[in-house]
Every structure is written in structure tokens, then in C-alpha cells.
């Protein structure tokens, strides 16, 4: 599978984790989208360095070819997947602890 396909599957998988598996429902929360917007801003900078120097080089056959601040557009989906999976795990653990504390 190309990076493009995997990146799209990543987003769908992360959304499924949030909505169906852990049921953290972050995708419907203002706090999540605000945090994501902040992370995305810094991701563009850090990823710009990573892909601009470049520290990481992509096989042109694995990506669609669209780039934003040096980075392939797939990196945005990769980053979103990472943030959503992480925050869903964090919030799920917190919610579980809250239920147990009652």
C-alpha cells in the first residue's frame, strides 16, 4: 500500500478508535479541535524542517505529490492520526480512572 492509502486508512482507523472503540468522542469536542489546530501549526514548522533539509526523503511513487511547506500532504493525515490516537488513549485512561474513583 502506498503512503497515500495508508495515511487515509490511518485517519479512518483513528476515527473508529475515537468513535467506536474507546468512545472518547473527541472528534465532536471543541477542546480537541483547538488543541489539534495548535499542534498542526507547530507540526508544519517541525515537519517543514524534517522534509525541507531534508532529514527524511520520500519515494515519489509512494505519495500523491502534493506538498505543503516541503512536506507531502500525506504527513498531515499521518500527524492527525497520531494526535487523535494519542489523545483518545489519554482521555480514555482518564475517564476510566474517573469511573473507578466513584
* Binding residues vs other proteins (CB under 8 A): 2-3, 6, 10, 24-26, 29-32, 34-35, 38-39, 42, 46, 49-50, 53-59, 62-63, 79, 82-83, 85-87, 89-95, 97-102
Least gap, CB of 77 to other proteins (angstroms): 12
Phi–psi pair at 31, nearest 5 degrees: -60, -40
Least gap, CB of 70 to other proteins (angstroms): 13
Q: Which residues contact 43 (CB under 8 A, 6 or more apart)?
A: 75, 76, 79
In a 13 Å sphere around the CA of 8, the CA atoms on its Cβ side amount to 6
72 in Cβ contact with 3 (< 8 Å): yes
| Residue with Cβ nearer other proteins (76 or 79) | 79
Least gap, CB of 29 to other proteins (angstroms): 6
Amino acid at each position: 500500500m502506498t503512503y497515500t492509502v495508508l495515511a487515509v486508512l490511518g485517519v479512518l482507523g483513528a476515527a473508529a478508535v475515537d468513535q467506536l472503540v474507546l468512545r472518547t468522542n473527541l472528534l465532536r469536542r471543541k477542546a480537541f479541535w483547538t488543541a489539534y489546530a495548535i499542534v498542526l501549526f507547530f507540526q508544519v514548522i517541525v515537519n517543514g524542517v524534517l522534509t525541507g533539509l531534508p532529514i527524511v526523503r520520500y519515494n515519489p511513487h509512494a505519495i500523491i505529490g502534493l506538498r505543503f511547506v516541503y512536506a507531502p500532504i500525506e504527513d498531515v493525515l499521518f500527524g492527525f492520526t497520531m494526535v487523535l490516537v494519542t489523545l483518545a488513549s489519554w482521555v480514555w485512561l482518564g475517564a476510566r480512572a474517573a469511573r473507578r474513583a466513584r
